[in-house]
Structure 1
Amino acid sequence: MDKNKVLSTVAIALIILGIVMIYIGGFYAPKVMLPPIITGVGFFLIAWAINALKD
């Protein structure tokens, strides 16, 4: 994958994760402990993008 494809894929994934975090935090916060898991996935995606830019 080239850098532009990696960056666009990560940007779309981070947008989706942000929407999911807002949805879970707004409706299911007391019942579900998923936001830390989703945030962790977001950090992995950010790390992937930084690693791709590292050349």
Structure 2
Amino acid sequence: MIELQKIEEFNDEQKKFILYSIISYINVYSKVATKEQLEFIEDLFQLIKEDMQTIISN
């Protein structure tokens, strides 16, 4: 069984991989999403924006 970890427990490379995976998913999904789903994606993106900037700069 997969054990879940808090994001703080990941190293920088793992965080970057997760971040780029999320961005790739958003890029693909946003092409077929409804307006409500796009609004949700935008809200989600705003929530992780600060973390993304921190991770990318490291």
TM superposition score normalised by structure 1: 0.52
Q: Comparing both structures, which one devotes a greater share of its residues to helix?
A: 1
User: 2:49 corresponds to which residue?
Assistant: 43
- The CA deviation at 1:47 is 5.4
User: 2:16 corresponds to which residue?
Assistant: 11
Structure 2 segments unaligned to the other structure (5+ residues): 1-7
Percent identity of equivalent pairs: 4
Counterpart code for 1:46: M
Between the two proteins, the alignment pairs up a number of residues equal to: 48
The verdict on how the C-alpha distance between 1:37 and 1:9 changes in structure 2, with shifts beyond 3 A counting, is farther
Q: Which moved more, 1:38-47 or 1:22-31?
A: 38-47
Asked if the contact 1:10–1:49 (Cα under 8 Å) also holds between the matched residues in 2, the reply is: yes
**Structure 1 counterpart of 2:35, from 30, 33, 53:** 30
TM superposition score normalised by structure 2: 0.51
Alignment RMSD (CA, Å) = 2.8
